[in-house]
Structure 1
Amino acid sequence: MAAPTLRRCCGRAAGLWGGLRRVHQQARQTGRAKGLLAEQCERGLFQEVFPAQSAEEQLPELLAPGRPPLTAYCGFDPTADSLHVGHLLAVMALLHFQRAGHHVIAVVGGATARLGDPSGRAKAREQLAAERVEAHAQGLRAGLRRLFDNHRQLFWAGGGPLGRAALLDNAAWLGPQPLLDFACGAGGRLRMGALLSRQGCQARLRSAEGMSLAEFLYPALQAYDFLHLHRHHGCRVQLGGADQMGNIMSGYELVTRVTGEDVFGITVPLITSTTGDKLGKTAGNAVWLNRDKTSPFELYQFFVRQQDNIVERYLKLFTFLPLEEINHIMEMHAKEPEKWGPQKRLAAEVTKLVHGREGLESAKRCTKALYYSSVEALEAMSDQELQELFRQASFAELMLEPGMNVLDLCRKANAIPSGPSGYQKITDGGVSINGIRETNPETVLVVGQHILKNGVSLLRIGKKNYYIIKWLQL
């Protein structure tokens, strides 16, 4: 298919949404269950489908309840060792396919990450060594496995069979692929005009840096992923972010040219910051899904801080809550906006999916300890939670000596200057222990008050300087 035809088909995607709205209205009027496409159109998760005409004609029926399962896949390049919130909508799309009884494949791009996706980039990515890519791939596989496991254990109550989920790495089939075999096979079916016509490719070719052959080959390798998965796993749907439409079009072109069978692509929205920047590693604003990079508390707070004008949309995109329940949550919010009900529910649902029940409880403990000065929450916190919550805090291990007082603690922790100025810092009210202000430097430390049951003291100097004290041999 020539590039102009591809662009025309892509531009007609709006017609598909009209068809999906009709499907949704018919389902509502007749009482029939909504299909996957109609439901996700209503939620706003599926943004564009390609090719528009055949998708409108075939996909609603293929994905209707009661039909044989299809297989869908989405790729995740290991350019870092963790997924981030920007990836989460693509994972949600896979999970919604799985919940509808379809089979899903998450592909870690252990091969394609070596080249780097040029989509939406003004300059080439840093090339990664094979060892680094493999280390990153292990992190992504662990994160994806955790998301699928948490969904199955915590969010799937039944109502039909849950589709199969597989986790693959494209290095398994692209790594052994001889260059000449690839060039003569898949390379012979892809057309230069289509690849060169893409807006991103045009912009890079006109730039001072230009585009390397490695980057130019990226869409071809991703297209081969679709062909391989179609041949070996019966995959007919590729999912990806809205910036992946060009790569999806290449996959569609290759599969249809080689097999003559209809396949489809579906994109999901890009999540952006308040300034409109795409959330991710490149922009430096990633909210990671691995705990060692972004704690459950930090993830929870990211969603709690979402403003009213975005929270309803995020409830539809990032949670499995029924639309009727989301409407009720928003109605209650209109009556009691000071409670931040939608934001708290959103944060709880996402944190539980990413980190499990214990991760959500950890986020809540940290929230109570930091924002509500809850001694009970502090006492229940592990060393890991304390260090996650107070990442910039100094950590000290001390022995409790008889008669040790507030001034001794502050000096041993190197939290105040020596001499009169440190003494005055306490008397002026600049020191608190476990959320309680101490203004008498001579106050003797008391176990159960200054030293919590978990053998920890949280010392704060001023408003933002924290010190975590771990007491030894209490």
Structure 2
Amino acid sequence: MAAVAMAVAASRSFFLSYPNPSKTFLLSTSTSSRTFFLSRASSASTASPSLEPNPSPSPSLNSKHVVEILQERGLIESITSENLKSCTNIKAYCGFDPTAESLHLGNLIGLIVLSWFKRCGHVPIALVGGATGRVGDPSGKSAERPELDGQTLEQNCASIKTLIKGILSRNEVQNLEAGFKRDSLLILDNHDWWKNITLLDFLRDVGKFARVGTMMAKESVKKRLNSEDGMSYTEFTYQLLQGYDFLYLFQNMDVNVQIGGSDQWGNITAGTELIRKILQMEGAYGLTFPLLLKSDGTKFGKSEGGAIWLNPSMMSPYKFYQYFFSVPDVDVIRFLKILTFLSIEEIDSLEEDMKKPGYIPNTIQKRLAEEVTRFVHGEEGLKEALNATEALRPGAETELDAKTIEGIAKDVPSCTLAYDKVLNCTLIDLAVSIGLMASKGAVRRLLKQGGLYLNNARVDIEEKAIVESDIIDGKVLLLSAGKKNKMVIRIE
């Protein structure tokens, strides 16, 4: 084992202790004779992963290195060393803090990049911050994050692990007990090792290697120090916590690459610095990708409002699909490159199609929506989104049913009315009473223009009233003013 060979050559020793003394093994560095312990968490269901190098990865479909693929797609902001481009055995991890029960659109690029590593034969690792989530990453934030209780964090961690497994795997996740395989996916929780580390141990064994000047020079720290609220000591130490995660994974599991958004550069380099200083070793790399930004330049997130959630229980596949279907032309090609696995050649061809006479608007947006929805929600989720989209298209011949309408009720405005208040009510009165249109005059004008629909059927008669056969399955109505302004009416 490589670790044993290092132990012979170096003069400073680290013991990584396991609950079972027989599993204690020796790693070494070369700066001091003092030995100290870094405790590894115990669990009845968690065994020591194999430290043997993973097999050489199979070549990607186009035989390009993963870094080259990411670069040509605009998925690399910075890397810590050009040597990463020649690495053949990579174990790359990306961290996800459990500050909500779902990941959101801002996390999607991290999952995409991990998936590229997996597709190129490397080992992707998703690290859920069960420990760091108790502190909160100050990067990109103007104020300290709200504190979450332990139970909420545990629930969020469990939900996010399930979500990541579904998105990145769609099959069995490789268990720790079985070690690493070339096509494996690992989902870890940093609380597993942090829960056994004391403050004094951390200050002695890690804190002494951190330089305050370097920590204060990090961009995430400088911005907060200059803000009105400043930065708490707790947030200030976050970069060391994340840095230690990289050190721990590098030392215990041969993880040699950390990836993250561009706002994570300071946290990532904190880890590579700790590895160099404490272990006196090279071979740890950092890679950042551009943040996914809105048209106004702000981040996608949950606290900024209007979050695009990846969990179908918080945002339906239909609404998720509709978001990407509505992406402006100016962004659609960039999104195809960074959020899908279509070849660059195919994307270039689609871009040329946009410039040709007769191009049907939103054709490429439809392809983008299909690809991203399939990645996040799978084939079943995409099918659900397409069925709902077709069923809700004004003028569509698809026969509506109550289940389909109820399925999108949370994604469009809805209301509940008594049966006797709806039956025999004129459509004009109904449209005004539920707030679909502002006035009866506006409804009449829209009707004359052919833009008023009841259950996707165009209404041409001004005196049209609701009859029993209009109420789908005796439960719901769908009223549409134009293509996008809809209202679901539940009947009691």
Task: Normalising by structure 1, report the TM-score.
Answer: 0.78
Aligned to 1:394: 415
Change in CA separation of 1:332 and 1:263 when aligned onto 2, cut-off 3 Å: same
1:36 correspondence with 2:61: no
1:198 correspondence with 2:218: yes
Q: 1:135 & 1:400 partners in 2: Cα distance? A: 43
Aligned to 1:216: 236
Aligned to 2:196: 176
Q: Check whether the contact 1:300–1:351 (CA below 8 A) recurs between aligned residues.
A: yes
Q: 1:278 & 1:299 partners in 2: Cα distance? A: 17
Change in CA separation of 1:352 and 1:428 when aligned onto 2, cut-off 3 Å: closer
CA deviation after TM superposition for structure 1 residue 408, in Å: 11
Please list the CA deviations of residues 388-411 of structure 1 after superposition, one character each: whole Å capped at 9, or x if unmatched. Answer: 342x2013574999xx64559988
Structure number with the higher helix fraction is 1
Structure 1: state its 5+ residue gaps. Answer: 1-26, 64-68, 154-160
1:138 correspondence with 2:168: no
Q: 2:114 & 2:466 partners in 1: Cα distance? A: 58
Q: How does 1:48-447 map to 2 (within 5 A)?
A: 48-50=78-80, 52=81, 56=82, 58-63=83-88, 69-150=89-170, 163-261=183-281, 262-335=283-356, 336-376=358-398, 378-379=400-401, 381-382=403-404, 384-390=406-412, 392-396=413-417, 398=419, 405-407=424-426, 415=434, 432-435=453-456, 436-437=458-459, 439=461, 445=467, 447=469
**2:192 is matched by which residue type in structure 1?**
A
Change in CA separation of 1:206 and 1:273 when aligned onto 2, cut-off 3 Å: closer
Change in CA separation of 1:469 and 1:207 when aligned onto 2, cut-off 3 Å: closer
**1:329 is matched by which residue type in structure 2?**
L
Q: 2:68 & 2:488 partners in 1: Cα distance? A: 53
Change in CA separation of 1:382 and 1:32 when aligned onto 2, cut-off 3 Å: closer
The farther-off stretch of 354-363 and 392-401 is 392-401
**1:198 is matched by which residue type in structure 2?**
K
CA deviation after TM superposition for structure 1 residue 100, in Å: 0.8
CA deviation after TM superposition for structure 1 residue 340, in Å: 2.4
CA deviation after TM superposition for structure 1 residue 371, in Å: 3.7
Change in CA separation of 1:432 and 1:194 when aligned onto 2, cut-off 3 Å: same
Q: Check whether the contact 1:108–1:141 (CA below 8 A) recurs between aligned residues.
A: yes
**1:86 is matched by which residue type in structure 2?**
G
CA deviation after TM superposition for structure 1 residue 434, in Å: 0.8
Q: How many corresponding residue pairs?
A: 416
Q: 1:91 & 1:213 partners in 2: Cα distance? A: 31
CA deviation after TM superposition for structure 1 residue 45, in Å: 1.0
Q: 1:45 & 1:296 partners in 2: Cα distance? A: 25
Change in CA separation of 1:138 and 1:398 when aligned onto 2, cut-off 3 Å: farther
**2:198 is matched by which residue type in structure 1?**
P
CA deviation after TM superposition for structure 1 residue 456, in Å: 4.0
**2:376 is matched by which residue type in structure 1?**
V
Change in CA separation of 1:408 and 1:99 when aligned onto 2, cut-off 3 Å: closer
The farther-off stretch of 241-250 and 118-127 is 118-127
CA deviation after TM superposition for structure 1 residue 438, in Å: 6.8
**2:323 is matched by which residue type in structure 1?**
F
Q: Check whether the contact 2:242–2:267 (CA below 8 A) recurs between aligned residues.
A: yes
Q: 2:427 & 2:329 partners in 1: Cα distance? A: 47
Aligned to 1:156: none
Q: Check whether the contact 1:405–1:442 (CA below 8 A) recurs between aligned residues.
A: no
Q: Check whether the contact 1:270–1:278 (CA below 8 A) recurs between aligned residues.
A: yes
**1:129 is matched by which residue type in structure 2?**
D
CA deviation after TM superposition for structure 1 residue 208, in Å: 3.8
**1:304 is matched by which residue type in structure 2?**
F
Q: Helix, strand or coil: the match of 1:74?
A: strand
**1:469 is matched by which residue type in structure 2?**
R
Q: Check whether the contact 2:394–2:453 (CA below 8 A) recurs between aligned residues.
A: no
The farther-off stretch of 197-206 and 69-78 is 197-206
Change in CA separation of 1:276 and 1:259 when aligned onto 2, cut-off 3 Å: same
Change in CA separation of 1:207 and 1:73 when aligned onto 2, cut-off 3 Å: same
The farther-off stretch of 249-258 and 279-288 is 279-288
Q: 1:150 & 1:284 partners in 2: Cα distance? A: 30
Change in CA separation of 1:467 and 1:35 when aligned onto 2, cut-off 3 Å: closer
**1:62 is matched by which residue type in structure 2?**
C
Structure 1's consecutive aligned runs of 4 or more residues displaced over 6 angstroms after TM superposition are: 408-411, 424-428
Q: 1:276 & 1:377 partners in 2: Cα distance? A: 41
Structure 2: state its 5+ residue gaps. Answer: 1-58, 174-180
Q: 2:287 & 2:251 partners in 1: Cα distance? A: 19
Q: Helix, strand or coil: the match of 1:239?
A: strand
Q: 2:399 & 2:355 partners in 1: Cα distance? A: 30
CA deviation after TM superposition for structure 1 residue 276, in Å: 0.7
Change in CA separation of 1:380 and 1:349 when aligned onto 2, cut-off 3 Å: farther
CA deviation after TM superposition for structure 1 residue 302, in Å: 1.8
The farther-off stretch of 435-444 and 115-124 is 435-444
CA deviation after TM superposition for structure 1 residue 97, in Å: 0.4
Change in CA separation of 1:427 and 1:173 when aligned onto 2, cut-off 3 Å: same
**2:299 is matched by which residue type in structure 1?**
K
Q: 2:333 & 2:425 partners in 1: Cα distance? A: 48
Q: 1:348 & 1:242 partners in 2: Cα distance? A: 27
Please list the CA deviations of residues 142-163 of structure 1 after superposition, one character each: whole Å capped at 9, or x if unmatched. Answer: 221121134999xxxxxxx962
Q: 1:383 & 1:461 partners in 2: Cα distance? A: 16
Q: Of the candidates 478, 481, 485, which is equivalent to residue 458 of structure 1? A: 478
Q: Check whether the contact 1:237–1:264 (CA below 8 A) recurs between aligned residues.
A: yes
Q: 2:207 & 2:183 partners in 1: Cα distance? A: 33
Q: Check whether the contact 1:396–1:467 (CA below 8 A) recurs between aligned residues.
A: no
